[in-house]
Structure 1
Amino acid sequence: MLFTEVLKDNSVFLKCYRKGRYVSDSMIVAYFLPNGSPYNRIGITAGKKQGNAVERNRIKRIIRAAYRLNETGIPIGYDIVFVGRNNIKEKKSGDIERFIKKKLIREMNRPPKREKKNKG
């Protein structure tokens, strides 16, 4: 992958879950957080609910393939964590590509929402 490294550190995954923004679909959730570096870092998770090791590895493979095909359109400087949901097993990489193009890239290019400060 051109502008991407692999995330392996659990603390970075947790940081994306807690502090990052996310976009979801019925088959996948993508968490993203700016990392301040000139490249993206990607992590993919598929839990045991998705099936045995063969099925989980297939899920990771199709997500990686879809990401690779859309890598040039994704903004640089983010940690991105993809989490597969239960009905992702029946999907093809084209379905994941549509999710990345239509939802993920659009949301990453949108400015973050400002948090309201509580008075009192």
Structure 2
Amino acid sequence: MKKEFRVKKNKEFQEAFKQGKSFANRQFVVYSLQRNDQSHFRIGLSVSKKLGNAVKRNQIKRYIRQAFHELDQELKPNYDFIIIARKPTAEMSFFEIKKSLMHVLKLSRVVKTHKHGNNKS
């Protein structure tokens, strides 16, 4: 994932926490903030030291970034997402993380709706 697609600055994180909407499941908390001044979504990651050592935390962040990379075409473009990983993510595989993220993103209604009628989500 390209660097310009990441939320880095503390000010931007705080803005998303204060003005954005939050959605959660057991594995993730996702804050989404609509931004009309950008053409691609951006993600910011927060993985606590409680989840494991640096190797484990970096692995979780790689999995999350890869999941967003694969979901690229399905997400609405003009959003900032702040993803906070919870304890269960430390034990999950990439596919479980992707499925869980998709679930919480659908809750937050930032997944593009498909035009054809066979999508029942």
Task: Flag whether TM exceeds 0.5 (same fold).
Answer: yes
- Superposed, 1:28-39 pairs within 5 Å as 28-36=28-36, 37-39=38-40
Length-normalised TM-score, structure 2: 0.80
Partner of 1:114: none
Give per-residue Cα distances to partners, 1:77-108, cap 9 Å, x unaligned.
00001111111111112122222333303523
Q: Secondary structure at the match of 1:108?
A: coil
- 1:57-76 superposed matches below 5 A: 57-76=58-77
How many residues are paired up?
109
CA distance in 2, matches of 1:47, 1:106: 23
Structure 1 residue runs of 5 or longer lacking an equivalent are 111-120
Could you tell me which residue of structure 1 aligns to residue 54 of structure 2? 53
- When Rg is computed on C-alpha atoms for both structures, the one with the higher figure is 1
- Over the aligned positions, Cα root-mean-square deviation in angstroms equals 1.9
Aligned to 2:12: 12
Q: Any gaps of 5 or more consecutive residues in structure 2?
A: 112-121
